[in-house]
Structure 1
Amino acid sequence: MTDAATPLTPDDVLRLVQERDIRFIRLWFTDILGQLKAFSINSSELPDAFEGGMGFDGSSITGFNAVEESDMIAMPDASTFAVLPWRPEEQGVARMFCDIQTPEQTPYEGDPRHVLRRALERAKALGFDDFMVGPELEFFYFKDTKDPTPLDEGGYFDLTTLDAGSDLRRETVLALEQLGIHVEYTHHEVGPSQHEIDMRYASALKMADDCMTYRITVKEYARKYGLHASFMPKPLFGENGSGMHTHLSLFKDGKNAFYDANDQYYLSDVGKAFIAGQLRHSREMSAIFAQWVNSYKRLVPGYEAPTYLAWSRRNRSALVRVPMYHPGKEQTTRMELRCPDPACNPYLTFAVLLQAGLEGIEHGYELPEPMEKNLYHLAPDERRRLGIEQLPETLGEAIELTADSELVLRTLGEHMFNRFVEIKRQEWDDYRVQVTQWELDRYLPIL
């Protein structure tokens, strides 16, 4: 393939398709919940697809329009063209991400990619050229979709025969690199059978596309080995859940806008206000970056997942960590948000995080002092005295905070906001009425 750093044009794509004997092109996009959707076209249809997009019925896509206004157009983005390494080489298969449009060829307001593009336009209007994102997606390998039995008892960074996933991880990394995704490193995580493959930070839109590609690639290669890869936030009781620690920074004129050589934390006013925006708005954004009932089984004190709204440099119990500055590494000055999980919709998550940070910059939010002590060890009244709030404890609580959020409404737009709140309230209602095994074991014998 051509150099992944060079954005491809439609003409490049048509040439590559011919050179590499590509027979089918999958057009990828995501629904409101971040599930990957696709349909396939014959490579002979490509010129038409680039010219006017490909029509499809959006009525059965979660969060898209109802039947009476379901006509949609998928406009392929040539710069995202890549050959799928898990498909046969002969008469191969490639993919492109699409922007979804209405029949009038205006951006469709229910398209998560459009929501992120809109947030990026706001950053540009405020003078920032680039919003860089580096997410760390953790996941588990299991025997199958019904049996969450770990494949090993390995721990953090273990490299032993216990790490049953290392060959599989290696093949997955090679595939990601073929797909134009730069992998920095890969290792066994804290939980048994838990893994992490870290992608090098990139511009937010490319990174959101890369997250979607990463998740499907990890799952495809697990299936090849007869296994199931899961990005469920908390599949195992009593073990760490899977997070998606997300590193964020803004660039202006090619320089990192978060860096200030004269500040004690090496953080500029822009960086501080951006972080203050995350802290102030994280409760109302929670249903976006932790969007499932199961997400809140991970966000509990004591399992490496942060729940308290504070920032720190070393303390991993805080919501935001600012990694220590190393001389000569000004470009890597960033903040790390530790609460998102890998089952979120990356487009909506990056969009809402950017909007919260820009809100802080535009309105000059003050950043409180860092909290360097372990917040899990503070008594509740001491936390209250320090004014440290915490994330919502359930999806039910989170979605009601989101439903009242002007920031999230502006980020998603009215159409998507209303759909999202409706879908998530329904999920919470479905969960609330379940009678679990825990309740039966606990109450049936004594009540």
Structure 2
Amino acid sequence: MIENDVAQMLERIHNDGIKFLRLQFSDIEGIPKNIAIPVNQAEKALTDGIGFDGSSITGFASIEASDMLLKPDPRTYTILPWRPEEARVARFICDVHLPDGRPFEGDPRYILKKTLSKAAELGFSFNTGPELEFFLFRMTEDGKPTTAYQDEGGYFDLAPTDLAEDVRRDIILALTDMGFDIEASHHEVAQSQHEIDFKYSDALTTADNVVTFKFATKSIALQNGLHATFMPKPVYGINGSGMHINASLFKDGKNAFYDPDGPLQLSDTARMFIAGVLKHIRGIVRVSNPIVNSYKRLVPGYEAPVYIGWSASNRSALIRVPAPRGSSTRVELRCPDPSCNPYLTFAVILAAGLDGIKNGLAAPGSTDKNIFAMTPEDLAAEGIDMLPGDLHTANQYMLSDHIICETLGSHVVAGLDAIARSEWDAFRTAVHPWEVEQYLSRY
């Protein structure tokens, strides 16, 4: 930051009565981390950065080369409204740098910035708008989370005032205070499941907002004695939580996906973008659906998309083109879930779409039938394949996709590979309750 900008930021912090600053960043799994500093360290943070041990962060650095710096992004400054007024706390999201000032190649925020720069070289800006679903569960008396429902509501249900409604209201008020433009909120399909939608923005701002949204939601829920979880499938037999991602490219201030004279009023750019995402979707899924539990949601029968295809408005398709056109023309990728790292997820979606555009890929025909109702024979006749069915398979697709690997960089690919191998080994060698129930008395 230049000297005048630092002075203005320090004055703002002083006028807001801030006592502590949280310097926040994300590891490669998308888990938010932070260092809290007293306000008298604000100038140092804004000029030189604050050092930390990168070897303690998943996928960051080895112990022999662990020194790193956090450099706050002034645009992300916001007061945490749920913290006490007498000791006000504000937050910066930070970029991670090496001691010599270079950006750290394993910083997810840096990876998204690099990919956005590649889009800008082609004249494009990339906007995203996610739809995050989450559960509010009860907690035990000693503060441990459970999967006990807080309410028995269903999709769009109204109910007498209860804790769930109050918590959702408090979350929205807190997010609004933090600068979010909330568009809608409602009860989701499953018991104790909710959705709050906020306005789309450029992909970097949106990724920052996703991290903030999850952090704020968990904090407000905890203050109300509930546990908010973004785990994709916490309960068997009911719908899981998704994070549908609406995406669009703009060029010269206009929506590059819109062509009033094109089929379905979609431009060639939109169709090539769709083709690119479909081509790379199996590798993308490792990033957008990053844990073993993600694939318990991606199964037929629970509205989550498992079949590789696209359509206009058809909600059974993996990629849907919602009805609005003009500046609102967009594609909606329906497989991601809210456990993903939004920086990495947006980066690989954009890279795949750009690959489709640069190589003039042709999208397959739109699938306008209910894919969920198709038989295996119908799917084969239509040429519709399925997404990977587990983390191990998705990880292999990621490793074999040079566009995805190039976008993420060797450091992050190695980290994600190690995480997937470790998690899959732990899962496949564990003895699950289902196995005990099924086999113990029989054999």
Smaller-chain TM-score bracket:
over 0.9
Which residues in structure 2 correspond to 1:302-321 (within 5 Å)?
A: 302-321=301-320
Which residues in structure 2 correspond to 1:341-352 (within 5 Å)?
A: 341-352=337-348
2:41 maps to a residue whose letter is E
Q: 1:390 aligns with which of 361, 386, 392?
A: 386
1:293 maps to a residue whose letter is V
Cα distance change, pair 164–21 in 1 and its aligned pair in 2 (3 A):
closer
* Correspondence for 1:183: 182
Instruction: After the TM superposition, list the runs of 4 or more consecutive aligned residues in structure 1 that deviate by more than 4 angstroms.
Output: none
List per-residue Cα deviations over 1:202-226 (Å, max 9, x = no partner): 1100000000000010000100111
* Correspondence for 1:408: 404
Alignment of 1:134 onto 2:129: yes
Alignment check: 8 A CA contact 1:72 1:101 kept: yes
SS of 1:413's equivalent in the other structure is helix
Which residues in structure 2 correspond to 1:42-441 (within 5 Å)?
A: 42-128=38-124, 130-144=125-139, 145-161=144-160, 164-325=163-324, 330-441=326-437
CA distance in 2, matches of 1:108, 1:229: 31
Question: Is the deviation greater in 88-97 or in 102-111?
Answer: 88-97
CA distance in 1, matches of 2:286, 2:130: 18
Alignment check: 8 A CA contact 2:312 2:366 kept: yes
Alignment check: 8 A CA contact 1:74 1:101 kept: yes
Cα distance change, pair 173–111 in 1 and its aligned pair in 2 (3 A):
same
Structure 1 residue 400: deviation in Å? Answer: 1.2
Q: 2:9 aligns with which of 10, 13, 34?
A: 13
Structure 1 residue 112: deviation in Å? Answer: 0.3
Residues paired across the two proteins, number: 436
Question: Is the deviation greater in 139-148 or in 31-40?
Answer: 139-148
Structure 1 residue 416: deviation in Å? Answer: 1.1
1:161 maps to a residue whose letter is P
1:131 maps to a residue whose letter is F
List per-residue Cα deviations over 1:385-404 (Å, max 9, x = no partner): 22111100011111111121
As a proportion of its length, which structure holds more helix?
A: 2
CA distance in 2, matches of 1:377, 1:190: 20
Structure 1 residue 405: deviation in Å? Answer: 1.6
Alignment check: 8 A CA contact 1:9 1:79 kept: no
Alignment check: 8 A CA contact 2:6 2:47 kept: no
Alignment of 1:25 onto 2:21: yes
CA distance in 1, matches of 2:66, 2:336: 32
CA distance in 2, matches of 1:337, 1:155: 24
2:322 maps to a residue whose letter is P
Structure 1 residue 190: deviation in Å? Answer: 0.4
Structure 1 residue 9: deviation in Å? Answer: 4.6
TM-score (norm. length: structure 2): 0.96
Alignment check: 8 A CA contact 1:163 1:188 kept: no
1:153 maps to a residue whose letter is E
Structure 1 residue 127: deviation in Å? Answer: 1.1
Alignment check: 8 A CA contact 1:152 1:162 kept: no
- Give the root-mean-square deviation of aligned CA atoms: 1.3
List per-residue Cα deviations over 1:243-298 (Å, max 9, x = no partner): 00100001111111100000121111111111111111111111100000000000
Cα distance change, pair 250–11 in 1 and its aligned pair in 2 (3 A):
farther
SS of 1:392's equivalent in the other structure is coil
Cα distance change, pair 432–276 in 1 and its aligned pair in 2 (3 A):
same
1:12 maps to a residue whose letter is Q
Alignment check: 8 A CA contact 1:143 1:226 kept: yes
CA distance in 2, matches of 1:275, 1:159: 37
* Correspondence for 1:5: none
Structure 1 residue 371: deviation in Å? Answer: 0.6
Alignment check: 8 A CA contact 2:145 2:227 kept: no
List per-residue Cα deviations over 1:383-442 (Å, max 9, x = no partner): 122211110001111111112121121111111111111111110011000111111111
| Unmatched 5+ stretches in structure 1 | 1-7
List per-residue Cα deviations over 1:320-378 (Å, max 9, x = no partner): 000113xxx51110000000000100000000000000011001110111111111211
1:213 maps to a residue whose letter is T
List per-residue Cα deviations over 1:161-195 (Å, max 9, x = no partner): 38641111111101101111111010000000000
List per-residue Cα deviations over 1:36-55 (Å, max 9, x = no partner): 00001121212221111111
Cα distance change, pair 374–67 in 1 and its aligned pair in 2 (3 A):
same
1:399 maps to a residue whose letter is N
- Identical amino acids, percent of aligned pairs: 49
Cα distance change, pair 142–182 in 1 and its aligned pair in 2 (3 A):
same
Structure 1 residue 444: deviation in Å? Answer: 1.9
| Unmatched 5+ stretches in structure 2 | none
Alignment check: 8 A CA contact 1:49 1:76 kept: yes
TM-score (norm. length: structure 1): 0.96
